[in-house]
Amino acid sequence: MVGYVKCMQIIDSHVHLGVHSHCETDGNNLPFDLYNGESVFVKTMDAVGVERAIVFPITHREFNVVRSNEYILDAYRKHPDKLIPFCRIDENLKNNLEQGFKGAKLHLVYEDLKIKDIHTALKLLEDRNVPLLLHANFDKDNPKLKVQQVKEILSVVPNLFLILAHCGRGRPNTTQHVIENATVLKKYDRVYFETSTMEYPLTGNGEIVKQLCNILGSERILFGSDYPYQKDLEYANHIAWLKKIPLSESDLQKVACGNAYRLFNLEKEERIIIRRTNGNDIPLLFDIFFNELSKQDKKYLALSTKLKYREHWEKHIITGNSVFVTTLNGKIVGYMRCFGDRKNDNKGDLWDFVVHPDCRGKGIATQMLQYLHRKFSEMFAKTDAHNVPMKSLLTKFGYTPDNPESPRVIKWNKK
């Protein structure tokens, strides 16, 4: 059935919260009035049937970042079943994520932040497996600018979940550049499109969302309102617009809440996270290497040879530049080492790859390889000639053996 759906679960993926005291000026230069207190907003959510909302501070250079973030965190602690908190990016990002923030918002128009200056913050978000909600900059003379900014971020953190606010539209309440953005960004499977202010809710029919679903699939679209932007609108107007989007009931349910449930793991399912290593991982990794791998696994990993260069090996683990661990609900269950240079030839060379014996057959190895494939456009690998599971995995993902008849080591490539 396509058409108006009376009852559905709704998660709003774009809401501002903030009060006057967060502004460090008189506020006369602000382009919009986005003041929105948490207690009143939660009541408004209940009144219109919104189950949860992604909330973040008023992202403007005149607003104090620390006080704004503290306000969001306090609101989340009061309403943990209603609000999904995102913070602004500053030097406290690591601590903010540890305190409970589920992602970050970056506004390249109204914040004094440049992508080239926040690489460390972006890598932290990628390693924590939490999304960045991006409001990209707009240039009427360069319609490709927003896509260029997304690509610039993904060149640093290709496994980051990125939500493109307003679907990267040009002017508010227009679909300017939206289809072009989706067409170019279709191949980036971790880029989501958020729907707010593409159409004026009172007059729009949601047809643009159907077009986006045809390009990207309904699994990558998130409903958002940008509330309380546009003071002439009631919150209910945004919900009414959502419900008249011409999608099947199942696709509309994905846009309304299902995709957000999956992205933020609101069902609390087993969660696999792949991240760069750090010094704290050394004792945990070596415990697995020595005590939990079979003799055959140790042979395939060439563990005895690596131990001759243990100090050098540990340095790679500490820096995390080429070594990655996979965790399942916080426990390390996978390890891989892959060298490469994304800035120059964008080729990866896979040296080590192992999944904990208790966690094989769960698709973890597949996710680990996909992580590397997002990082590098061309891959090389070496396997023991007798390592049948690894040979099968590489073959499945399109790797070609250079010397398939070798009795000892087989070299592989994927272009």
pLDDT tens readout for residues 310-347: 999 999 999 998 999 999 999 999 999 999 987 778 89
Please tell me the distance from the alpha carbon of residue 34 to that of residue 20, in angstroms, as a whole number.
10
How would DSSP label each residue in 322-355?
SEEEEEETTEEEEEEEEEE-TTTT-EEEEEEEEE
Indicate the residue type of 211.
Q
Match domain 272-414 to its CATH number in 3.40.630.30, 3.30.230.70, 1.10.3720.10, 2.60.40.10. 3.40.630.30
Please report the pLDDT score of residue 65 as a whole number.
Answer: 94
Mean pLDDT of 251-274: 92
Task: Give one DSSP letter per residue of 107-136, joined into a string.
Answer: ETTTSS--GGG-HHHHHHHHHHT--EEEE-
| Three-class SS state of 380 | strand
Query: Percentages helix, strand, coil for the chain, rounded to the nearest 5?
Result: 40, 20, 40
Sign of CA dihedral 124, 15, 214, 198: negative
**Fold of the 11-263 domain:** TIM Barrel (3.20.20)
Rounded-to-integer distance, Cα 84 and Cα 101, Å: 8
Residue 147's CB: how many other CB atoms inside 10 A? 20
Q: Quote the pLDDT of residue 7.
A: 58
- Model confidence over 208-227: pLDDT tens digits? 999 999 999 999 999 999 99
Q: What's 256's DSSP letter?
A: I
Q: Whole-angstrom Cα distance, residue 408 to residue 326?
A: 28
Residue 25: pLDDT over 90? no
Tokens (6 digits) for 77: 């602690």
CB 181 within 8 Å of CB 164 = yes
- Reported as a pLDDT band with limits 50, 70 and 90, residue 267 is confident
**Letter for the amino acid at 17?**
L
Beta-strand ranges (E) seen in 80-187 are: 83-88, 103-107, 132-135, 162-164
Closest Cα to residue 54, out of 93, 8, 14?
A: 14
Strand partners, 11: 52
Within 206-327, where are the H helices? Answer: 207-216, 235-243, 249-253, 259-263, 282-291, 295-300, 303-307, 310-319
Instruction: Give the pLDDT confidence of 235-249 residue by residue, as tens digits.
Output: 999 999 999 999 999
pLDDT at position 1 is 41
Quick check: helix, strand or coil at residue 21? Answer: helix
Residue 6 in this model has a pLDDT that exceeds 70: no
Strand partners, 84: 54
> Looking at the predicted structure, is the pLDDT value of residue 358 above 90?
yes
**For the chain, what are the domain ranges?**
11-263, 272-414
pTM: 0.94
pLDDT reading at 270 higher than 90:
no
pLDDT of residue 207: 97
Average pLDDT taken over every residue of the chain: 94
Kindly report, residue by residue over 104-141, the tens digit of the pLDDT.
999 999 999 999 999 999 999 999 999 999 999 988 88
The whole-number pLDDT of residue 407 equals 95
CA-wise closest residue to 200 among 226, 168, 180, 163: 226
Same fold, 11-263 and 272-414: no
* pLDDT for 365 beyond 90: yes
